[in-house]
Chain A
Amino acid sequence: MSDFIHNLLRLRRGPWEMVASVLIALGVAMLMQPFAITLYTYSFITTLIGTVMFIIVSHFPE
């Protein structure tokens, strides 16, 4: 866990891609879940932030 935070602070690709992937997956799950419309409302912004983050952090060093 401390390695993860350390690499996150050093702007390494691995952990940042992980964060972006989690955001995308969360956004898609929120978009298609049948439980709360509030989650649906905020799904697109979550996916968008995750996708843009993924594009940016995939250029970070390993």
Chain B
Amino acid sequence: MMKNTPIEKIASATPDNVARHIRGLSDRSIAWIFVAPTIFLLLAINIFPLIWTVWLSFTNSRVNRPNRDVDWVGLRNYERILTDSDIWNTMQATAHFLIWTIVLQVLIGFMLAFLINKKFKGNDLWTTIIVFPMMLSPAVVGNFWTFLYQPQIGLFNYVIAFFTGADPASFSMIGDVHLAPWAIVIADTWMWTPFVMLICLAGLRSIPGSIYEAAECDRASKWRQFWTITVPMVLPFLMLAVLFRGIENFKMFDLVVQLTGGGPGNTTTLTSIDLKREAFEKWRTGYSSAYAVILFVTVFGLASIYVKALNKVKER
């Protein structure tokens, strides 16, 4: 018999003793053989480092001193972190960044999606232009906004001056302790609003036109259609966008480091920046592990209740 297909060629080339072994395997065993490498990788890359970090968080380990004895310090690292007012301020800076970026991105993203969803000339071109910031590297965006925020030459200051009549050189977005937290919010919103817009657009385009036609027949106003059809049907997509942006912004690092470096003072030092300093500048491995565990439990807890809420909305 001719062996034409690659599978037939491989089958004929398999030695008899190996073929007998394979024939003897159950479907379940074969499934395990396929899944085992992935499980092994997950254990090696995710689970083992997690357990190792938890163990390190109870020690005074410093990776820059490998020959020093590592002592068990119990809950001392946690106690120091949770009574440190500087870290408390860092948490507040992170909360400010997280809340405002999500609120602005969801509002602007949804409005843009609503506009782009209308049929007009140049619709695709506008979509591409709006999505453009998302395609840039955060380092590039950070540099770009640093120039925009320059008091002497920055375009941002001139735009604000044009609307308020203030002197463009009279304020510095990244040099002022009150304005710097807003500077990072604006830059992140500019970069990531298109992402929220795309998710909302997917939600808006998934709503069947027949629902709106039925509402028109029932003489429902546009306002009522918006609140009783559009918003409930886009809500799961919006919640997904909030989940993605929330987790992503909780660990925001590159854009903010490039833009303000955590300053002035510690006003824009987010938890991820602080954690990196503790772990890789001060080399306090045990302490920074405890810090990382606190952040992990916070994000994990929030994500758990959020996914539960998302599933409830989907079931409706």
Contact = CB atoms under 8 A, between A and B. Distances in A.
Interface of A: 17, 20-21, 24-25, 27-28, 31-34, 37, 40-44, 47-48, 50-51, 54-55
Interface stretch (B83-91, B118-126, B208-216): B83-91
B308 A17 contact: yes
Contact of A54 (B82, B88, B92, B305): B305
Contacts of B301: 24, 27-28, 47, 50-51, 54
B91 A31 contact: yes
B interface SS class: helix
B308 A21 contact: yes
Interface residues of B, number: 18
B302 A24 contact: yes
Contact of B91 (A20, A21, A32, A54): A32
Interface of B: 78, 82-83, 85, 88, 91-92, 94-95, 294, 297-298, 300-302, 304-305, 308
Please provide the 10 A-B residue pairs with the shortest distance between their CB atoms, ordered closest to farther.
A32-B95, A24-B301, A51-B301, A21-B305, A41-B82, A40-B88, A34-B92, A32-B91, A47-B301, A54-B304
Contacts of A28: 298, 301-302
A interface SS class: helix
B304 A44 contact: no
B309 to A, nearest CB: 8
23 contacts: A17-B308, A21-B305, A21-B308, A25-B305, A27-B301, A28-B301, A28-B302, A31-B298, A33-B92, A34-B92, A37-B88, A40-B91, A41-B83, A43-B82, A44-B82, A44-B298, A47-B297, A50-B301, A51-B297, A51-B304, A54-B304, A54-B305, A55-B304
Counting chain A CB atoms within 10 Å of each CB, which of B91, B95, B300, B301 scores highest?
A: B301
A44 B92 contact: no
B74 to A, nearest CB: 15
A48 B82 contact: no
